[in-house]
Structure 1
Amino acid sequence: MSFFKKLFGGGAASAEPAGDKVLGEESYKGFLIKAIDMKAGSEFQLAGTIEKEVGGELKTYRYIRADRMSSRDDVTALALGKGRQIIDEQGEQIFN
């Protein structure tokens, strides 16, 4: 039966966010970047959120990349760096 669960999406998805546990965060150019804990098997997958209050409403942009690391510290630093890069390239346009 577990074969069918995996085949049709009923099995446990190991690459889903684990309750959005924050590994690290930083403020950058008025945005708040958070590195999110996302396990992919025995590794950590690069994932994070970018938040900013726009017009009285908290806007959130979630990003997930294919990069995987075995070190929690390495993936945290990479996720925060990727957040800074996204902000530099797109600014508030990421919320559109």
Structure 2
Amino acid sequence: MRLTCPFCGSRGLEEFTYRGDATVRRPAATTTLQTDAQAWTDYVYLRDNPAGLHDELWYHGVGCRSWLVVTRDTRTHRVETVRSARAVALAERADGAA
């Protein structure tokens, strides 16, 4: 499998490290273990196992050292998109502010 880094171009998978589910969101800053232990338990331990398109975090450690959000079909391993995690986070922040 190859990933196309938005900064370095097409590279072999050995340059990247899979770092997990990109859809998991940390509980709000006001949520403490004392106020909502279940929210923290879910955040730390629970993960979905989707069949189909899924956003994943990858790290390009051998290349530009960028964090990437890779949208991949978990059934076929076909990569749909590779985006900078920073750009994704900024877009989500802008959408939330609107």
Q: Same fold (TM over 0.5)?
A: no
How high is the TM-score relative to the length of structure 2? 0.32
Q: Which has the higher contact order (CA 8 A, sep 6+)?
A: 2
Q: Whose helix proportion is higher, 1 or 2?
A: 1
Write 1 or 2 for the structure with the bigger share of strand. 1
Question: TM-score, normalized by length of structure 1?
Answer: 0.32
